[in-house]
Amino acid sequence: MIKIVLAATSILLLSNLTANIFYWTLLIILLLCMAMLSLVVLTPPLCAPIMVNHLLLIDTLNMPLVILTFWISSLMILASTKIKKQANKLNFFIAMVLILNWVLIMCFISANLLTFYVFFEASLIPTLILILSWGYQPERLQAGLYLVLYTLAASLPLLIAILFIYTSSLSTSMSFPHHIPQFFCSPILSSLWWLSCILAFLVKMPIFSAHLWLPKAHVEAPVAGSMVLAGILLKLGSYGLLRLSLMFQPMNLNLNFMVSSLALWGAAITSMICLRQTDMKALIAYSSVGHMGLLTAGLMTTSFWGLQGTLLIMISHGLCSSAMFATSNMLYESSSTRSLFLTKGLMNLFPALTLWWFLFNAANMAAPPFINLLGELTLFTSAISLNLIFMAPLALCSFFTGAYSLYLYTASFHGTTPSFMFASHLFSQSNYTLLMLHFIPLTTLILNPSLIMS
């Protein structure tokens, strides 16, 4: 694990070099090699749970997320060729991507709850800089404000809860179970304390009713910001909720029905909202809220299948949503619009992209042979085991997920091509590589899901 940390730090130091085309390519190759090296070194049976000291921990829960971080970071750079061509603060952009990559890795491998909180909050800074510096519209300032206010307002109760944990047990280690602080002996106080612990993670995921910052951030962010936001940053919330649930295992029983109900019905509602969206990125952002709601419900059951489904959906959704944002950005660069009313009949102009768009929409609706299917089946099982009444929102989620995925595909690629649209050299070699590097893990992981399932 120390080798992985040192390698990530070394790549971070490379941001001081001059950003030319050779350095750009070298950086992408290095990050992809780090992902492959992590896959070899950090997967069982070569890797048992390792705790280097009281600050660093690697196990089967955070190992897939470390690999995903390296993978998505390389694809973020690969997708941002427009910034390279325009030389738009290129050195600064690469520095922000590498800093965010390092912060996320340190957050995932933190063994101490307090250091995890520090890196959890630190990830907000480079993300905000990406949105404000390379966003498309003046509304990016409002999107950044929403992102900061929602995150910081929900994180303050978590910091207070961590201090109570340390006062009670003199330890904030995440490697072994804890007892609830003795200050909260009554059921009501203990439930309120547990809600303050998980609120920051529920907002980060985000859960329905605390999700308004996500569509704004996605719509205004550059393609790299959208990819890291959907691919990794949302997983910080689910990972933190997962870790706290293992630290205080009985506590989820107090709130699991309430939180799961809100998450599942919220997922069904946001799936319906997707059918009314006209902006591609807004639709994909709302679909992320639905998938994260399903993940939250499965995680709150604290069952074995809920844990396995959570890990599978975290990885599969990270790859699938990142690919959809990258593809929508390709369409935006060729047509200068993301409106589903204006982008019609693209099948006639971009037949190759039609296939990719269909495949990623199929993955988004959890069609075989994608790894999303296995993850959603396990989460459905765990949610229904908690209460049979959850079959209703799960059925609505399944139906409307398929409906808005087909709507997103047909609305943009079928129909009459507008007169202002024309064929362009959209599919360069880098675009083919970008989509292929998203597609390969989505299909091959179904052959060996034990790489993710702990």
- Residue pLDDT, tens place only, 101-156: 999 999 998 888 899 999 999 999 999 999 999 988 888 899 999 999 999 999 99
**Both structure tokens of 9:** 């730090």
pLDDT tier for residue 43 given thresholds of 50, 70 and 90: low
∠ at Cα 441 (243, 227), nearest 5°?
65
Mean pLDDT of 38-44: 66
Whole-prediction pTM? 0.92
Q: CA-to-CA distance for 251 and 244, rounded, in angstroms?
A: 9
∠ at Cα 438 (445, 94), nearest 5°?
130
Q: CA-to-CA distance for 166 and 194, rounded, in angstroms?
A: 15
Q: CA-to-CA distance for 91 and 108, rounded, in angstroms?
A: 26
pLDDT tier for residue 42 given thresholds of 50, 70 and 90: low
Mean pLDDT of 290-317: 90
Residue with tokens 């990972």: 239
pLDDT tier for residue 41 given thresholds of 50, 70 and 90: low
308-330: pLDDT as tens digits: 899 999 999 999 999 999 999 98
Q: How many CA atoms lie within 13 A of 417 on its CB side?
A: 13
Residue pair 159/146 in contact by the 8 Å Cβ criterion: no
**Both structure tokens of 41:** 């070194």
When comparing pLDDT for 437 and 334, which is higher? 437
Whether the per-residue pLDDT at 51 is higher than 60: the answer is no
Domain boundaries, the chain: 2-451
pLDDT at 49: 57
Of the candidates 99, 116, 117, 118, which has an alpha carbon nearest to the alpha carbon of residue 108? 116
Whether the per-residue pLDDT at 59 is higher than 90: the answer is no
pLDDT tier for residue 275 given thresholds of 50, 70 and 90: very high
CA distances 256 to 60, 114, 195, Å, are 24, 25, 11
Q: Count the Cβ atoms, other than its own, within 10 Å of residue 355.
A: 13
pLDDT at 53: 64
Residue pair 238/299 in contact by the 8 Å Cβ criterion: yes
Mean pLDDT of 215-221: 91
Residue pair 68/239 in contact by the 8 Å Cβ criterion: no
Residue pair 68/318 in contact by the 8 Å Cβ criterion: yes
Q: How many CA atoms lie within 13 A of 113 on its CB side?
A: 31
Three-state SS letters, the chain: CHHHHHHHHHHHHHHHCCCCHHHHHHHHHHHHHHHHHHHHHCCCCCCCCEECCCCEEECCCCHHHHHHHHHHHHHHHHHCHHHHHHCCCHHHHHHHHHHHHHHHHHHHCECEHHHHHHHHHHCHHHHHHHHHHHCCCCCHHHHHHHHHHHHHHHHHHHHHHHHHHHHHHCCCECCCCCCCCCCCCCHHHHHHHHHHHHHHHHHHCCCCCCCCHHHHHHHHCCHHHHHHHHHHHHHHHHHHHHHHHHHCHHHHHHHHHHHHHHHHHHHHHHHHHHCCCCEHHHHHHHHHHHHHHHHHHHHHCCCHHHHHHHHHHHHHHHHHHHHHHHHHHHHHHHHCCCECCCCCCCCCCCHHHHHHHHHHHHHHCCCCCCHHHHHHHHHHHHHHHHCHHHHHHHHHHHHHHHHHHHHHHHHHHCCCCCCCCCCCCCCCHHHHHHHHHHHHHHHHHHHCHHHCCC
Whether the per-residue pLDDT at 48 is higher than 80: the answer is no
Q: Report phi then psi at 25, rounded to 5.
A: -65, -40
What is the distance, to the nearest Å, from the Cα of residue 299 to the centroid of all Cα atoms in its chain? 16
What is the phi-psi region of residue 242: left when phi exceeds 0, alpha when psi lies from -120 to 50, beta otherwise? alpha
Of the candidates 252, 112, 118, 230, which has an alpha carbon nearest to the alpha carbon of residue 180? 252
Rounded (10°) CA dihedral 308, 61, 172, 195? -30
